[in-house]
A and B are shown apart, each in its own frame.
Chain A
Amino acid sequence: DTGVSQDPRHKITKRGQNVTFRCDPISEHNRLYWYRQTLGQGPEFLTYFQNEAQLEKSRLLSDRFSAERPKGSFSTLEIQRTEQGDSAMYLCASRAPRQDRETNYGYTFGSGTRLTVV
Chain B
Amino acid sequence: RKEVEQDPGPFNVPEGATVAFNCTYSNSASQSFFWYRQDCRKEPKLLMSVYSSGNEDGRFTAQLNRASQYISLLIRDSKLSDSATYLCVVNTAWRGSTLGRLYFGRGTQLTVWP
In the complex, the number of residue pairs spanning A and B with C-beta atoms less than 8 Å apart equals 56
Contact B8 A45 (CB under 8 A): no
- Interface-facing stretch out of B14-22, B62-70, B71-79, B91-99: B91-99
- Interface-facing stretch out of A13-21, A63-71, A77-85, A105-113: A105-113
- Minimal Cβ-Cβ distance residue in B for A42: B104
Assembled-state Cα–Cα distance A20/B46 (Å): 27
Assembled-state Cα–Cα distance A87/B5 (Å): 23
Assembled-state Cα–Cα distance A58/B101 (Å): 10
How close is A95's CB to chain B, nearest CB, in angstroms?
A: 8
Q: A41-B106, A42-B106, A56-B101 are in contact. Are A105 and B43 (CB under 8 A)?
A: no
Contact A45 B49 (CB under 8 A): no
Does B34 lie at the interface of the complex (its beta carbon under 8 Å from any beta carbon of A)? yes
A-B contacts, 28 listed (Cβ < 8 Å)? A31-B99, A33-B101, A35-B102, A35-B104, A40-B8, A40-B106, A42-B4, A42-B6, A42-B104, A42-B105, A43-B102, A43-B104, A45-B101, A48-B99, A48-B101, A56-B101, A58-B101, A91-B44, A93-B102, A95-B99, A99-B98, A101-B49, A104-B46, A105-B49, A105-B91, A109-B44, A110-B43, A112-B43
Closest 7 CB pairs of A and B: A42-B104, A109-B43, A45-B101, A42-B106, A43-B104, A41-B106, A104-B46
